[in-house]
């Protein structure tokens, strides 16, 4: 395929990738994947759209492959590089889908950060991509939502969280953390390639690369079953807490699901002594419920949309676990008593107005006037 020149260029640029990894790779400079199909210039020297199409997908694949190579090098200096490459590869897969869905003649509008509208000859509005800047993570998520592509971004957020911890705190990342990130990457790659892009992972990534990702996931699977078993005897006080725990509690630091109770089994949630299998932080049952209920993904999927915060501080246990939709605190089962009314206007109090220890309960309006009268 292609001229010999093309082959040489590929080898050359591939070695550039390897040199760049310890400091991370600037994606736009890595245009070439280690296989022959992606030369954007056709055999006759013309720029074919076919070449362009292959570049995005093949860059995604190459980035994931390099990430997996970084990982299996078992060199902790390459941990950050592994995460960056996997993260970048996953974003490129998502962009590939946006590119495929971009209207014809729109200059790949959906992968561009900026879009303008043009009116076509027949009066229809067509989005036109502007400039070279492509969509960032937030814009990718918005476009997926706008296009009604159902997608759980939590695994990507977890990879990002571990990556940030390594980047900003000069923390090298534990083996368990990296493995959890690889398992998350496998889940994302699988969903993007198979469910969204309708591609075959083994054919695209190669058997070895895919096996490494699957292996990590199998280990994580086993770990998460152990986590679930350690939490099974717990008697949660509310249905909300039970459901959140069954779906998987989250780590307050890294958002991992690998939350395990340490020591003898307990039934009282207050006695939970939890540890995160990914980042090693230890915390109690209440902290994990706070992290879980306030997780973006949980909020999006489980609460009705309203202007009010769906989860607020509980007037009784003071944790951020009072769920407005349930009119109940998921942690301590506190519900607003019927007599919780303003002593001036008799309006029923909101949980954030209610103080069980107050002698004269007041609504926020009368609480405000009373405070001003005191001055
Ligand atoms: Zn953690
Ligand atoms: Zn409470
Ligand atoms: Zn009042």
Alpha-helix runs per DSSP H in 278-363 = 285-293, 296-302
Model pTM score: 0.60
Mean pLDDT over residues 127-143, rounded?
A: 93
Listed range (47-56, 201-210, 364-373) with the worst mean pLDDT: 47-56
CA–CA–CA angle 104, 91, 143 (5° rounding): 50
The pocket of ion ligand 1, defined by CB under 5 A, consists of 251, 253-254, 256, 276, 278-279
pLDDT at 307: 72
Question: How many CA atoms are closer than 13 Å to the CA of 45, on its beta-carbon side?
Answer: 0
Length, in residues, of the chain: 375
Q: Two tokens at 328?
A: 């109940």
Query: How many Å lie between the centroid of ligand 3 and the Cα of residue 283?
Result: 39
Instruction: Between 18 and 365, name the one with better pLDDT.
Output: 365
Shortest-distance ligand to the CA of residue 343? 3
Query: How many Å lie between the centroid of ligand 3 and the Cα of residue 327?
Result: 20
Radius of gyration of the chain (CA): 26
CB of 137 within 8 A of CB of 88?
A: no
Local confidence band at 241 (pLDDT 50, 70, 90 cut-offs): very high
Shortest-distance ligand to the CA of residue 350? 3
Local confidence band at 21 (pLDDT 50, 70, 90 cut-offs): very low
Query: How many Å lie between the centroid of ligand 2 and the Cα of residue 320?
Result: 8
| CB neighbours of residue 123 within 10 Å | 6
Query: How many Å lie between the centroid of ligand 1 and the Cα of residue 256?
Result: 5
Mean pLDDT over residues 201-222, rounded?
A: 88
User: How high does pLDDT run on average in the chain?
Assistant: 81
Tens digit of each residue's pLDDT (9 = 90 or more) over 248-304: 899 898 778 889 999 999 999 999 999 988 778 899 999 999 999 998 778 877 887
Tens digit of each residue's pLDDT (9 = 90 or more) over 141-185: 999 999 999 898 988 988 888 888 788 766 666 777 788 888 889
The pocket of ion ligand 2, defined by CB under 5 A, consists of 314, 316-317, 329, 331-332, 334
Print the SS3 string covering 229-252.
HHHCCCCCCCHHHHHHHHHCCCCC
pLDDT at 44: 43
The pocket of ion ligand 3, defined by CB under 5 A, consists of 342, 344-345, 363, 366
Tens digit of each residue's pLDDT (9 = 90 or more) over 290-346: 999 998 778 877 887 667 788 999 999 999 999 988 999 999 999 998 888 999 999
Local confidence band at 39 (pLDDT 50, 70, 90 cut-offs): very low
């Amino acid at each position: 395929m292609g001229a010999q020149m093309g082959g040489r260029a590929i080898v050359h640029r591939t070695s550039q990738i390897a040199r760049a990894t310890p400091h991370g790779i600037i994606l736009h400079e890595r245009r070439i994947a280690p296989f022959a199909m992606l030369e954007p210039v056709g055999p006759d020297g013309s720029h074919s759209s076919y070449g362009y199409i292959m570049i995005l997908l093949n860059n995604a694949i190459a980035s994931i492959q390099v990430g997996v190579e970084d990982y299996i090098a078992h060199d902790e200096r390459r941990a950050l590089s592994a995460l960056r490459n996997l993260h970048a590869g996953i974003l490129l897969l998502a962009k590939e889908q946006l590119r495929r869905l971009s209207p014809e003649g729109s200059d790949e509008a959906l992968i561009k950060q900026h879009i303008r509208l043009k009116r076509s000859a027949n009066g229809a509005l067509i989005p036109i991509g502007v400039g070279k800047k492509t969509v960032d993570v937030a814009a990718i998520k918005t476009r997926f939502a706008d296009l009604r592509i159902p997608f759980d971004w939590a695994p990507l957020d977890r990879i990002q969280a571990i990556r940030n911890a390594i980047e900003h705190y000069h923390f090298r990342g534990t083996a368990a953390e990296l493995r959890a990130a690889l398992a998350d990457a496998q889940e994302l790659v699988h969903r993007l390639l198979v469910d969204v892009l309708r591609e075959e992972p083994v054919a695209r990534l190669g058997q070895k690369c895919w096996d490494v990702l699957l292996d990590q996931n199998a280990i994580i699977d086993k770990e998460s079953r152990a986590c679930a078993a350690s939490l099974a005897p717990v008697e949660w006080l509310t249905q909300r807490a039970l459901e959140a725990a069954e779906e998987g509690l989250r780590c307050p630091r890294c958002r991992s699901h690998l939350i395990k109770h340490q020591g003898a089994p307990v039934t009282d949630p207050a006695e939970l002594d939890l540890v995160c299998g990914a980042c090693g932080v230890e915390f109690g049952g209440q902290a994990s419920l706070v992290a879980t209920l306030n997780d973006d993904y949980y909020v999006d999927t489980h609460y009705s949309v309203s202007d009010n915060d769906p989860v607020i501080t509980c007037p009784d246990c003071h944790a951020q676990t009072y769920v407005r939709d349930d009119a109940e605190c998921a942690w301590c089962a506190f519900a607003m008593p019927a007599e919780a009314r303003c002593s001036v206007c008799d309006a029923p109090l909101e949980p954030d107005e209610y103080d069980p220890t107050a002698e004269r309960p007041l609504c926020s309006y009368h609480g405000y006037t009373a405070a001003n009268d005191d001055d």
